[in-house]
Amino acid sequence: MIPLDQVLTVERVFVGAFGASKKRVLQTLAERLATAVPGVTELDLFDQLIARERLGSTGLGQGIALPHCRLANIDRPVAALVKLDEAVDFESPDRQPVDLMFALVVPEAATDEHLQLLAAVVERFNDSDTVAALRDTRDPDELYRLFFKGF
């Protein structure tokens, strides 16, 4: 498995306003992530993220979401970590709005790797101290450091 610190860089850690709806948040996410994925347009990425959401919400609960998708024309996984200024309804099982997101885009054939990366992210978000610390910072560098702290 590729380590998460090779999939997520500090340049893809964002703090701020992404929009007032899940759709707008995913659109902004696609705009920001597309710059890191050569050969992929914002629209392609957005379409795939929305298609995945139609299968079921990627909202985990407790204000956390893991939007993710597969793309045919990429050769490596790419991720982003986002702390939203305003929490957004992600249709999570617990109905809590989302303010923390980890987005993951993987090559279409990377089934096992995709699941392993998602499991590693969930493990980090299962640590309540880490989640609380992530919510307490507005600095992208600090957000990145805290996400990997202890791992």
Task: Please count the other Cβ atoms lying within 10 Å of the Cβ belonging to residue 73.
Answer: 11
List the one residue out of 9, 8, 134 whose CA is nearest residue 63.
134
Which residue in the list 12, 22, 32, 68 is annotated as catalytic?
Answer: 68
Structure tokens at 137: 């910072």
* In 56-94, alpha helices (H): none
Distance CA 108, CA 31 (A): 20
Tell me whether residue 114 is one of the annotated catalytic residues. Answer: no
Which stretches within 16-139 are classed as H helix? 22-34, 42-55, 111-125, 128-135
CA distance 104 to 110: 12
Active-site positions? 68
